[in-house]
C-alpha cells in the first residue's frame, strides 16, 4: 500500500466497531495534505473533501497523478474558477431498469465484440459493485380497489418477460452485479434506505481493513437523492456508467461549489415539497448548471434527513450536478431509524470525524465559489407547472395562474390534428375496434365542458379538470412527513364525507414497501382507500409517464373537444408529453396537496378560499378543515415509522420475489442474441469495430434534421412513454408481429435499437421548426420539401451519404440522464449538434457517442444568425489536432460563424477520437 501513498497519508483510526478489524482500520487522512501545506481542509466544501479523498486514495501516478491531488487540494485558491481535470473513481454504480437494461446490453455487446476481435470476453466485467433496481416497468393500468396492485404486477411481468429474462442472465454472467427484483421500490429510495453505507471498508493488500467514503454514480438523474445522506453521487448517462464499471474514472472539470445557506425553519402548513420547489426556483435563476450546490447554515441542523433527501433529489431540476448535505448527527439518526446496525453507525461516525468529513453546528463555514441564502420561514405552499419544475406558483396564486396557463397551453397546441396522433397511449390503442377517430373539435378556453359517463356515473369534464392525481416518485414518497400528511388529509376528508371526484384517476405508488408498512400500522391505508387512493405499484409510475390510460370515455371527450385537463402529481418532472398524452397541463405538488386537488377535481379554483367540495349535509369543506398540523404528522411518524420495518423489508431483498425467482434464463458468458426479439437486440455500435482508430474527419454537406427552440429535454429527444400506433416505432412493432395492446413503452424497449432509433425525437409535444405548425416527430426532408417522420427522413439522408446536424436553443438536453437521447441521435446519422447551451449529462453523452456538441459564442443563437435550417452545413476544421474547447468555424450556406467545441477534457477527446467510449474501452482492454 505504501507504493500507492506518495503523500504518506495512510493512517489508522479507531472505528468504534468491534466488527471491523478489532476496532481499527486504515484510512487516507486529508489532514496530511494540510500538514504538507497543500490545502486548508476546514475551508474546503465537504463535497470537495470527498472528491479529494478519492483522488488521494487512488493516486498511482498512472491514472491518478500527484498533480491531480495537488490541483484539487488547491481548490481554495480559485474556488473552482480555474478548472483542471479531476479523475474521480466512485465506489459503486447504481442502475434502474430503463437505463440499466441498455447498459447490460452494451456490456453483452462488448463481450461479443471482444470475441470477434480475438480477445477474452471475460475481460468485460464490472470491476466495482453494481446494483440494478427494477422500478420503471410498472404502469398504472388498474387504480381502484385493493386488487389494483396485484393486477398491475401481473401485467408488469407479462409485458417485461424478455427484459427480465435478460437481466436474470446478466445477474449470473457478470461478477459484481446484483439485481433488486421488481416490486421492491424506487432505486433512489432503496439506495437511501438500504444500499448506501456512508462509509465502506475493504481488505487492503497487507491484510488490514481500509475505510473510505461511500460514493457512486447512477444511470438516473435523480441519483442525487443520496447526497442528502452525505454520500457523493450524481446521475450520468449509461455509457459513462459503463466506463466506471470497467474501471474508468469519471473525468470532470474542477467544480464550482455554490453554498446555499439555510436559516430559520419551515412555517406551519409548508412541506418539504414546497421547500424544494422554492429552492429549485432560486437556484435555476442562479444558473448552477454543472456546479455543485452544498447546503449549510443553522437551518440544515434542524432539518430531517428525509427533507434533505427531497432537496438533493431535485438537483437536476435546478441544474446542479448535485445538492450536498454533509454527514452529521442527523445522518446517524436516520441510519438508526432505517435499521442499520450499530457497528455500521459507529464506523460512519468515527471515520467521518477522523477525516474531517463530519458537520457540526460550531464548525467553521467552508469557503464557497458563491453563496445564496434562504430563510425557511418564508416558504409557502406551492405548486410548479404546467410544464417545468422551476415555474413555481404559490397556492394563493394558482387560480389566476391557471387562467394564464390555459390560454398559453391552448394557444400553442396545434388545432384540428387527427385524433389518431394520440393512439397507443399506455400501450393501448385509442380505439380497440379500429374505427376512425373524428377530427379534434376546436374549442376555446371558455368552453364549459362535456358530460361523460363512466361505470354508470355521469359528470362534466372541462378545461382544468384534474384527470390525474398521483402520489408518485422518489422525491416525495421517500419522505414520511409528507406521506403521513397525505394520509391525514384523506382521514379528515373521509370523516367529513368527501371523496375524490369521479373523473380523477387517483394512485399511490410508494418508493418502498416500508411506506405500506407504516400506512398499515397507522391505519391510513384504509383512510386513503375511503376517498379513492389505492396503492398501484412500487415504482416510478406516473412520474416517468407510466400513468396508464385514462378511462376511455374521458379520453375520448378530451380528444374530441381538445380539452386542456390537468395532472397533479408529487413528482419531480412535468415536461411536455411526459405524464400522459391526454393531459397537457401538469403540476408538481406535495402529496397532501395532490389529495386536496383530487377532492376538488379542478385546478381552476382557489383552494385557499373556495371549498374542496360539499360534505355531509351539503356543508362546504375547505382545505383548512382537512389540513393536519405539524404536531399531528410528527406524532404518527414517531409512533409508526420503525427500524424493524426497514430490517424486515430489506432482509434478503434479492430473493424475496417468487415470480422473479421463477424466471428461467440462458447460461454462459456470451448472450445468445435472438433476432426475433423485440426487446433485446445486439446494438450496432461495435458491429464493425476494428483494432485501429480512424482519423477525425471534417463534416461536409450536412443537412439539418431538426430545428429546435430552448429547453428541449431528453424527454423530447427520447421519450420513455407511449408508442403511437402510426409512428415509425409503432409500425415497426406491428410489422414484427406485436399488437398495439402489447406495445408497452419506449422506456421498456431500450434494449432494442430498432425501436429506440425510430422513437428518437418522437415526443408528441416536440416542435420541429423545419416543419412549422406541426407537433410530434416530423421534419421537412430538404431534398424534396416533403414533411415526413424524422426517422424516415434520416434513412433517406443516410442512404445518400448525407451527414446531419441538429440546431437547438438554450438548455439543450435538460432532464433525465437517458443515454438513448444521445444513442438515438447518433444512429439517426447526426454528426453534430449546434446549440446555445447544454445540460451537463446530455452534452457528456453526445461526446461519448461520438457526436460533436458545438456551442454558439458571444450570445449568438441560430435565430440571431438568421439561420433557417435549410442551409447546407460544413465544419471543415475537424482533424486529429482538435483540442478540448477549441473554436471551430461553421459554414451554413453563405454564412460563416465561430462555435466552441464542447468536448471539455482530454479524456473526452480520446472518446470522440475513438468514435465513442465503448470503442475506446474495448480497444484499451484488447490492447491489454
pLDDT in tens, 606-659: 999 999 999 998 999 999 999 999 999 999 999 999 999 999 999 989 988 999
Q: What is the pLDDT of residue 1?
A: 40
pLDDT in tens, 115-166: 999 999 998 999 999 999 999 889 999 999 999 999 999 999 998 999 999 9
Of 646, 348, 607, the residue nearest 512 (C-alpha): 646
Q: CA-to-CA distance for 902 and 843, rounded, in angstroms?
A: 8
Q: What is the pLDDT of residue 3?
A: 54
Q: What is the pLDDT of residue 432?
A: 26
Q: What is the pLDDT of residue 638?
A: 96
Q: What is the pLDDT of residue 426?
A: 31
Cell 471482444, located at residue: 114
Q: CA-to-CA distance for 733 and 739, rounded, in angstroms?
A: 8
Average pLDDT across the chain, whole number: 92
- For residue 197, name the pLDDT band (cuts at 50, 70, 90): very high
Q: In percent, how much of the chain has pLDDT > 90? A: 80
Q: What is the pLDDT of residue 488?
A: 98
Mean pLDDT of 547-558: 94
pLDDT in tens, 768-782: 999 999 989 999 999
Enumerate the β-bridge partners of residue 374: 262
Percent helix / strand / coil, the chain, rounded to 5: 40, 20, 45
What CATH class is the domain 382-417+440-618? alpha beta
pLDDT in tens, 822-872: 999 999 999 999 999 998 889 989 999 999 999 999 999 999 999 999 999
Residue 574 has pLDDT above 50, yes or no: yes
Residue 57 has pLDDT above 60, yes or no: yes
Classify residue 80 by its DSSP letter: T
Q: CA-to-CA distance for 720 and 119, rounded, in angstroms?
A: 35
Q: CA-to-CA distance for 198 and 345, rounded, in angstroms?
A: 9
3.30.565.10, 3.30.499.10, 3.40.50.1000, 3.40.630.10: CATH of 95-248+255-378 = 3.30.499.10
What CATH class is the domain 684-927? alpha beta
- For residue 425, name the pLDDT band (cuts at 50, 70, 90): very low
- For residue 409, name the pLDDT band (cuts at 50, 70, 90): confident
Residue 489 has pLDDT above 90, yes or no: yes
Q: Where are the domains of the chain?
A: 2-88, 95-248+255-378, 382-417+440-618, 684-927
- For residue 240, name the pLDDT band (cuts at 50, 70, 90): confident
- Say yes or no: do domains 95-248+255-378 and 382-417+440-618 share a fold: yes
Residue 41 has pLDDT above 80, yes or no: yes
215: part of which helix (H) or strand (E)? strand 215-218
* Pairwise pLDDT comparison (772 vs 667), residue with the higher score: 772
Q: What is the pLDDT of residue 16?
A: 87
Q: Are 367 and 255 in contact (CB under 8 A)?
A: no
Supply the DSSP string of 666-689, one letter for each residue: --SSS----TT-SS----GGGTT-
Cell 362546504, located at residue: 620
- For residue 443, name the pLDDT band (cuts at 50, 70, 90): very low
852 φ, ψ (degrees, to nearest 5) = -85, 115
Mean pLDDT of 389-412: 88
Residue 602 region by backbone torsions, left for phi larger than 0, else alpha for psi between -120 and 50, else beta: beta
Of 51, 485, 42, 471, the residue nearest 227 (C-alpha): 51
**Helix pair angle (480-495, 513-522), 10° resolution:** 40
pLDDT in tens, 866-907: 999 999 999 999 999 999 999 999 999 999 999 999 998 888
- Give the Cβ contact number of residue 520 at 10 Å: 13
Residue 570 has pLDDT above 70, yes or no: yes
Q: Are 623 and 612 in contact (CB under 8 A)?
A: yes
Cell readout for 316 is: 437536476
- For residue 20, name the pLDDT band (cuts at 50, 70, 90): confident
Cell readout for 273 is: 415539497
The long-range contacts involving 604-612, CB below 8 angstroms and separated by at least 24 positions, are 604/399, 604/402, 604/403, 604/406, 604/463, 604/464, 605/399, 606/396, 606/398, 606/399, 607/395, 607/398, 608/395, 608/396, 612/493, 612/498
* Pairwise pLDDT comparison (22 vs 201), residue with the higher score: 201
Mean pLDDT of 240-269: 92
Distances (CA, A) of 526 to 325, 485, 500, 596: 36, 14, 14, 17
168: part of which helix (H) or strand (E)? helix 161-173
Q: CA-to-CA distance for 676 and 682, rounded, in angstroms?
A: 12
Q: In percent, how much of the chain has pLDDT > 70? A: 95
Enumerate the β-bridge partners of residue 471: 508
Q: Are 324 and 292 in contact (CB under 8 A)?
A: yes
The alpha carbon of residue 806 and the mean position of all alpha carbons in its chain are separated, in whole angstroms, by: 23
- For residue 414, name the pLDDT band (cuts at 50, 70, 90): low
Residue 424 has pLDDT above 60, yes or no: no
Exposure letters 273-296 (e unless 16+ CB within 10 A, then b)? bbbbbbbbbbbbebebbbbbbbbb
Mean pLDDT of 679-694: 92
**What sections of 422-580 are H helices per DSSP?**
474-477, 480-495, 513-522, 524-531, 552-560
213: part of which helix (H) or strand (E)? strand 209-213
pTM of the model: 0.86
- For residue 445, name the pLDDT band (cuts at 50, 70, 90): low
**What sections of 532-667 are H helices per DSSP?**
552-560, 591-600, 623-626, 630-640, 643-650, 658-661
Residue 442 has pLDDT above 50, yes or no: no
**What sections of 258-397 are H helices per DSSP?**
272-285, 298-301, 305-313, 315-318, 329-337, 342-354
Residue 319 region by backbone torsions, left for phi larger than 0, else alpha for psi between -120 and 50, else beta: left
- Give the Cβ contact number of residue 695 at 10 Å: 8
Q: What is the pLDDT of residue 435?
A: 28
Q: Are 492 and 593 in contact (CB under 8 A)?
A: no
Q: What is the pLDDT of residue 206?
A: 84
Of 139, 239, 232, the residue nearest 191 (C-alpha): 232
Residue 441 has pLDDT above 50, yes or no: no
Mean pLDDT of 362-385: 96
Q: CA-to-CA distance for 813 and 532, rounded, in angstroms?
A: 37
- Give all strands (DSSP E) within 802-928, no chain letters: 804-807, 830-835, 852-856, 873-875, 887-892, 895-901
Distances (CA, A) of 680 to 166, 180, 205, 674, 728: 8, 20, 40, 8, 18
Q: What is the pLDDT of residue 438?
A: 31
Exposure letters 170-184 (e unless 16+ CB within 10 A, then b)? bbebbeebebbbbbb
Mean pLDDT of 269-284: 96
- For residue 801, name the pLDDT band (cuts at 50, 70, 90): very high
Residue 22 has pLDDT above 80, yes or no: no
Residue partners of 803: CB distance under 8 A and separation at least 6: 699, 700, 701, 702, 703, 797, 829, 831
Of 890, 912, 908, 914, the residue nearest 900 (C-alpha): 890
Q: CA-to-CA distance for 696 and 386, rounded, in angstroms?
A: 44
Distances (CA, A) of 429 to 664, 739, 749: 31, 9, 18
**Top-confidence range, 318-332, 396-410, 576-590:** 318-332
- Give all strands (DSSP E) within 313-444, no chain letters: 322-324, 370-375, 382-384, 392-394
Helix (H), strand (E), coil (C) string for 257-284: EEEEEEECCCCCCCCHHHHHHHHHHHHH
Cell 385493493, located at residue: 146
Amino acid at each position: 500500500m505504501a507504493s500507492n501513498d506518495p503523500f504518506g497519508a495512510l493512517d489508522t483510526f479507531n472505528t468504534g466497531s468491534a466488527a471491523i478489524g478489532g476496532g481499527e482500520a486504515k484510512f487516507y487522512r486529508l489532514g496530511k495534505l494540510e500538514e504538507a501545506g497543500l490545502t486548508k481542509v476546514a475551508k474546503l466544501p465537504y463535497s470537495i473533501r470527498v472528491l479529494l479523498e478519492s483522488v488521494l486514495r487512488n493516486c498511482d501516478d498512472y491514472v491518478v497523478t500527484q498533480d491531480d491531488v495537488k490541483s484539487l487540494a488547491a481548490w481554495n485558491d480559485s474556488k473552482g474558477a480555474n478548472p483542471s481535470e479531476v479523475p474521480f473513481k466512485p465506489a459503486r454504480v447504481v442502475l434502474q431498469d430503463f437505463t440499466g437494461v441498455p447498459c447490460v446490453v452494451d456490456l453483452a455487446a462488448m463481450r461479443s465484440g471482444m470475441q470477434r476481435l480475438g480477445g477474452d470476453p471475460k475481460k468485460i466485467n464490472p470491476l466495482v459493485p453494481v446494483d440494478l433496481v427494477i422500478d420503471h416497468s410498472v404502469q398504472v393500468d388498474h387504480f381502484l380497489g385493493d386488487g389494483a396492485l396485484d393486477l398491475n404486477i401481473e401485467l408488469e411481468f407479462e409485458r417485461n418477460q424478455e427484459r427480465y429474462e435478460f437481466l436474470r442472465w446478466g445477474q449470473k454472467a457478470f461478477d459484481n452485479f446484483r439485481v433488486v427484483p421488481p416490486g421492491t421500490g424506487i432505486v433512489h429510495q432503496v439506495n437511501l434506505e438500504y444500499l448506501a453505507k456512508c462509509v465502506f471498508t475493504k481488505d487492503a493488500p497487507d491484510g488490514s481493513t481500509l475505510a473510505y467514503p461511500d460514493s457512486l454514480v447512477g444511470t438516473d438523474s435523480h441519483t442525487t437523492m443520496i447526497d442528502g445522506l452525505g454520500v457523493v453521487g450524481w446521475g450520468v448517462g449509461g455509457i459513462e456508467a459503463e466506463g466506471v464499471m470497467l474501471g474508468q474514472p469519471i473525468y470532470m472539470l474542477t467544480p464550482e461549489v455554490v453554498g446555499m445557506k439555510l436559516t430559520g425553519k419551515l412555517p406551519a402548513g409548508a412541506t418539504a415539497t414546497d421547500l424544494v420547489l422554492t429552492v429549485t426556483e432560486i437556484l435555476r435563476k442562479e444558473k448552477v448548471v454543472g456546479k455543485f450546490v452544498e447546503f449549510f447554515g443553522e437551518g440544515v441542523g434542524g432539518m430531517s434527513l428525509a427533507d434533505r433527501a427531497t432537496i438533493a433529489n431535485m438537483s437536476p431540476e435546478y441544474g446542479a450536478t448535485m445538492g450536498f448535505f454533509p454527514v452529521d448527527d442527523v445522518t446517524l439518526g436516520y441510519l438508526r431509524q432505517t435499521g442499520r446496525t450499530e457497528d455500521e453507525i459507529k464506523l460512519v461516525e468515527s471515520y467521518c470525524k477522523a477525516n474531517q468529513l463530519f458537520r457540526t453546528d460550531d464548525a467553521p463555514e467552508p469557503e464557497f465559489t458563491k453563496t445564496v441564502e434562504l430563510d425557511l420561514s418564508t416558504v409557502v405552499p406551492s405548486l410548479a407547472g404546467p410544464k417545468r419544475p422551476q415555474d413555481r406558483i404559490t397556492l394563493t396564486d394558482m387560480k389566476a395562474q391557471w387562467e394564464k396557463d390555459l390560454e398559453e397551453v391552448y394557444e400553442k397546441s396545434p388545432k384540428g390534428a387527427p385524433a389518431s396522433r394520440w393512439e397507443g397511449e399506455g400501450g393501448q390503442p385509442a380505439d380497440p375496434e379500429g374505427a376512425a377517430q373524428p377530427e379534434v373539435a376546436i374549442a376555446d378556453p371558455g368552453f364549459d365542458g362535456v358530460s361523460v359517463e363512466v361505470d354508470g356515473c355521469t359528470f362534466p369534464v372541462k378545461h382544468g379538470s384534474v384527470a390525474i392525481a398521483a402520489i408518485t416518485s422518489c422525491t416525495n414518497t421517500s419522505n414520511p412527513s409528507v406521506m403521513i400528511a397525505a394520509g391525514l388529509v384523506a382521514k379528515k376528508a373521509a370523516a367529513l364525507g368527501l371523496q375524490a371526484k369521479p373523473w380523477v384517476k387517483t394512485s399511490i405508488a410508494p418508493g418502498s414497501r416500508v411506506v405500506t408498512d407504516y400506512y398499515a400500522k397507522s391505519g391510513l391505508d384504509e383512510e386513503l382507500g375511503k376517498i379513492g387512493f389505492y396503492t398501484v405499484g412500487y415504482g416510478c409510475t406516473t412520474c416517468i409517464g407510466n400513468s396508464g390510460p385514462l378511462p376511455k370515455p374521458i379520453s375520448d371527450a378530451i380528444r374530441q373537444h381538445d380539452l386542456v385537463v390537468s395532472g397533479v402529481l408529487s413528482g419531480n418532472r412535468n415536461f411536455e408529453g411526459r405524464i400522459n398524452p391526454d393531459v397537457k397541463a401538469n403540476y408538481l405538488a406535495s402529496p397532501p396537496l395532490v389529495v386536496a386537488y383530487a377532492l376538488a377535481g379542478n385546478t381552476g379554483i382557489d383552494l385557499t378560499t373556495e371549498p374542496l367540495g360539499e360534505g355531509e349535509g351539503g356543508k362546504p369543506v375547505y382545505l383548512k378543515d382537512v389540513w393536519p398540523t405539524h404536531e399531528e404528522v410528527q406524532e404518527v411518524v414517531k409512533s409508526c415509522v420503525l427500524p424493524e420495518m426497514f430490517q424486515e423489508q430489506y432482509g434478503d431483498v434479492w430473493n424475496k420475489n417468487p415470480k422473479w425467482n421463477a424466471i428461467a434464463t440462458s447460461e454462459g458468458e456470451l448472450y445468445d442474441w435472438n433476432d426475433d426479439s423485440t426487446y433485446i437486440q445486439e446494438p450496432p455500435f461495435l458491429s464493425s469495430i476494428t483494432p485501429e482508430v480512424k482519423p477525425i474527419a471534417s463534416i461536409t454537406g450536412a443537412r439539418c434534421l431538426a430545428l429546435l427552440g430552448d429547453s428541449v429535454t431528453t424527454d423530447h429527444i427520447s421519450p420513455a412513454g407511449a408508442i403511437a400506433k402510426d409512428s415509425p416505432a409503432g409500425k415497426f412493432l406491428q410489422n414484427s408481429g406485436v399488437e398495439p395492446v402489447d406495445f408497452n413503452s419506449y422506456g421498456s424497449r431500450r434494449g432494442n435499437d430498432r425501436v429506440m432509433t425510430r422513437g428518437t425525437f418522437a415526443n408528441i409535444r416536440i416542435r420541429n421548426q423545419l416543419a412549422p405548425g406541426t407537433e410530434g416527430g416530423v421534419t421537412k426532408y430538404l431534398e424534396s420539401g416533403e414533411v415526413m417522420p424524422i426517422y424516415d427522413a434520416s434513412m433517406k439522408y443516410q442512404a445518400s451519404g448525407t451527414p446531419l446536424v441538429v440546431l437547438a436553443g438554450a438548455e439543450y438536453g435538460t432532464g433525465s440522464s437517458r443515454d438513448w437521447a444521445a444513442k438515438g441521435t447518433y444512429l439517426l446519422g447526426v454528426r453534430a449538434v449546434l446549440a446555445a447551451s447544454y445540460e451537463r449529462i446530455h452534452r457528456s453523452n453526445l461526446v461519448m457517442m461520438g457526436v460533436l456538441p458545438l456551442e454558439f459564442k458571444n450570445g449568438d443563437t441560430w435565430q440571431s444568425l438568421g439561420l433557417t435550417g435549410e442551409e447546407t452545413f460544413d465544419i471543415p476544421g475537424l482533424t486529429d489536432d482538435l483540442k478540448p474547447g477549441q473554436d471551430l468555424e461553421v459554414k451554413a450556406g453563405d454564412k460563416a460563424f465561430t462555435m466552441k467545441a464542447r468536448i471539455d477534457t482530454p479524456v473526452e477527446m480520446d472518446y470522440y477520437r475513438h468514435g465513442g467510449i465503448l470503442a475506446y474501452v474495448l480497444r484499451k482492454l484488447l490492447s491489454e
